[in-house]
Amino acid sequence: MAIAVKAAADVANKYASVTPGRSAFYELGVKNPRTSWSGATVAAAPNFKQAVSAADIEKRFAGGARKAGDAKWGRKSAEIGVGRFGPGVTAAKADYEQAVGPYLQAIGSLNLPARQPRGSSANLERVAVIATALSKLRLATKAGGA
């Protein structure tokens, strides 16, 4: 059975019309982060190095995060980011639609195995079908230079 999904244009329209009104939530999150930005960024340094494969990248990455610190990140995010959040979302509508469209189309073209009783491990196969399709699409998109 195929999964019913909304058209990319409909999703992008809702994104562009609803999300800009949520800038207060953005501001609240920026001013009250759940975790330290610089701490989390420094902790990500080993993964960053592996991803970009540049010599000494983890030292440069962590050093930049330490230098910027939470104070600068919070100040810039609140002073600049809050005002730009809504207009940025609105400006990104076409890009968002173009980016999300292929993934919605891929999900909508899938035929999932029949749903099983709640708690059945067979239901994980439904998730696996979606995850595999989206991963293949992502890799194909990245390989194409998009």
* Residue 15, CA distances (Å) to 6, 28, 82, 99, 129 in order: 12, 20, 17, 13, 26
pLDDT of residue 50: 80
Phi first, then psi: what are they for 2, rounded to 5°?
A: -70, 150
- Predicted confidence (pLDDT) per residue in 71-114, tens digit: 999 999 999 999 999 999 999 999 999 999 999 999 999 999 99
**Domain ranges in the chain?**
8-111
- Predicted confidence (pLDDT) per residue in 9-27, tens digit: 999 999 999 999 999 999 9
57: tokens are: 């990248």
Does the pTM surpass 0.85? The reply is no
Residue 118 DSSP symbol: T
